[in-house]
Chains A and B, each alone.
Chain A
Amino acid sequence: MGERLIELRNIAKSYGRVFAVGGVDLHVDRGEVVGLLGDNGAGKSTLIKMLAGAIRPTSGEIFVRGVRESHWNAARSRNAGIETVFQDRALCVQQSIIRNIFLGRELSNAFGLLDRKRERAEAERLMRDIGFTSKVFSPDSIVGQLSGGERQGVALARAIYNKADLIVMDEPTTALSLTETEKVFRFVRAVRAGGRSVLFIGHNIHHVFDICERFVVMDRGTVALKATKEEMGSAERLIAYMEKLAHPQGIEIPPAPGHEAEAA
């Protein structure tokens, strides 16, 4: 693989005596799409929130391009070229599309005055690039007026604006229609084609298997499996593995034809 983009070493987060994430190693190289899997409560969201700087780790180290980071926070994470599409999309629904795209990163002059013209032009371009312009709305439209898929479009547009090196997506296809889901995948492929990396979190294993080259499976706050696509072989094996994690005493479910439909 290429250059090591980010690396989390022995990262942990505890709430009192409960460990949400207990000592996880994770890295993403330049230009690869990594799938992060695991059941609800496995610690995936906590892990990526630490990467995004939204949650402070209890212990552990974060390296960006080989350099150890200190005083890690959300602003630093974004400045380091990491954009996160959060599960809740992190939008301000009473604000315009423009204000959401430039949230925390307003285009302004030396006095802090907003460059409205440039913000509007950039927003128009981004929305067109993403392909979320099918409905009748303008960059000035209030996000609260948009559908779920369109809101996701705003979150994606924001993530690509800064030409981030790594885009982290936490269950980006949840509650989206089939067409909208397809758009998200097209987005991931486009990002990768541009030589950038994606850390993709999802519940639909077939989706994740399709789109990712490497998989990290979490279970109860720790990494249970790391494997490349070649090592894994098929989505069915990945599913079987995860079934086994969830029910260690249970019988391993053999991959069967027609199983894909169930998982969708």
Chain B
Amino acid sequence: MIPELGHFALILALPLALALGVLPLLGARYGSARLMAVARPAALAQGLCMALALGTLVHAFATTDFSVRYVAEHANRTLPLHYRVAGTWGGHEGSLLLWVGILAGWIVAVALGSRGLPRPFAARVLAVLGLVEAGFIAFILLGSNPFERGWPAPADGRDLNPLLQDPGMVLHPPLLYMGYVGFSVAFAFALAALIEGRFDAVWTRWTRPWTLAAWAFLTGGILLGSFWAYYELGWGGWWFWDAVENASLMPWLAGTALIHSLAVSEKRGGFRHWTVLLAILCFSLSLLGTFLVRSGVLSSVHAFAADPRRGALLLAFLAVVVGVSLALYGWRAAQVGAGPRFAPFSRESLLLVNNVLLVSATATVLLGTLYPLVLDALGLGRISVGAPYFEAVIVPLMLPLLFLLGVGPFLAWKRAEAGTAWRRLRLLLFIALDVAVAAGVALALSPLAALGLGLAAWVAGSALWQLAQRVAAAPARTPIWRRLRAVPGGHWGLVLAHLGVGVFVAGVTLVKSLESAHDLSLRPGESGRAGAYVLRLVDTRQERGPNYLAAQARFELLREGRVVAELRPEKRFYVARQMPMTEAAIDRGFTRDVYLSIAEITPDQRWIVRMHLKPFMGWIWAGVLLMALGGAVSAADRRLRRAPVARAESACAPSSTSLANAAVS
């Protein structure tokens, strides 16, 4: 009975979403306050329905209701409760329901948070979101209903794919979707502005916190996905340029361009065309990502047992969204307006270069991801585009971006003085060059790796230097903590995110150039040498988990004769799916990870293991975490939420001094 309730709630959400999508739009068009007033209650009602639908599916998983086919395919009685809950988004149908559920959540948030907006504008934003949601609900109801019953109900379910039975996987899809779907808000703001034909500071100001929040979620989601791949897949890699990973990277790159372009639009009124187009591009790439992962054109952990019809429907939806929004843009482009002029050497032009580089990177990733699919679809043969391609194109695009990232925040808007910039930056440049040379010589790095480290120091140093300048500029005799608290959230966000970029680049460079892997074959009691370490297999034993059997080995890691860590990698066998799994053991450290996974246990009790030494691996995670944190802090900046009302009243007066002082992102 309860699953039917969820199904009913989902069906009910469709007319509500349609009402939300159509009535306020008409109301805004014909100036009917009554029709516009439909938006908020409709938004809240559809939110309630979607919450109910998602809740009943979670309930079906929690109570192992195997009469629901989707539950039977992705859960098992022996599966622990938290993984059963995560099983809700462990397959196609459920993850789409989660997608729409999160969209419903964003719609409710916009409905509640848009009270300060002009009413017709708020009505149009909510209507665009409603139309997108209606499309997705229809898609689920037509071909991917997670509430479908199976007859007869099996006594036990097939279990969740063991790879997904992991804490990282409980959180990764919701976070990633928060990001993907969050870009729909930026998209809706852009489309509402296009429909209205008004591109004042109000809409950019309102778009910024939403976009920053979505970007921060997406960053966190990608971080968790990569973190999971690192310790769960057992190969010691953290990014494989797999099409599914690229599907999340493309909206991230475009989104990064968007938050910087929005900064210019909001502070200076420039780049409006760019901003509108980037908002459309960003959400289209999110939809493309959903299509790639959910349509079955890719075979990977994210897409099993797919149905080609679904892919065609999703692709059609994507085509409609892109087509309609670009047509709308073409119709209204003349009214967008060019914005104020700026000199070739100014913060604006550097941000323009930032945008061009990021969009080029997006395009190259898109090409590398789609090219094999297109060739295959046309029957022209099967190829694969692997990591070497992506590294060959991304690295040259990122090097100038990193250099300019260090310069940009020090330049004035509109027109910057080269001399001033040089005086501010020469010490930093000197330090970065020193780091590059010193590290390059000391660690015997390649020139490219040394350059990477120098750029990392340059970027991180630039971020810290900005913070220092701001703190130093406070009135004399202010205590340091008060000075730090006086720094606005937006500026903290910029400092944290850029610092994160520096830490991340340092991590990637060091891991890529210093990592090593050692294969060892040991019997209990034996030890073998791997780099500067000695690995000793102490003993082995059989373990029994809730839904798996495991062979566990206890290793001691020795360095210079002293035991530095104990590692317990496992080889698991998941009973319900008859599937073996490697569970790596990792000793994490500030300067290195030691990563140990069992490859094989031979019949004569030799344990074949692969040990990866990954210097500064943790820096990669720390860097991305800092970026996500920076995005979150910026999104939470109170000035962004408070100002639009004041701004709307003063009818877009030239930016006040406080705004001129505010940071870029």
Question: Do they bind each other?
Answer: no
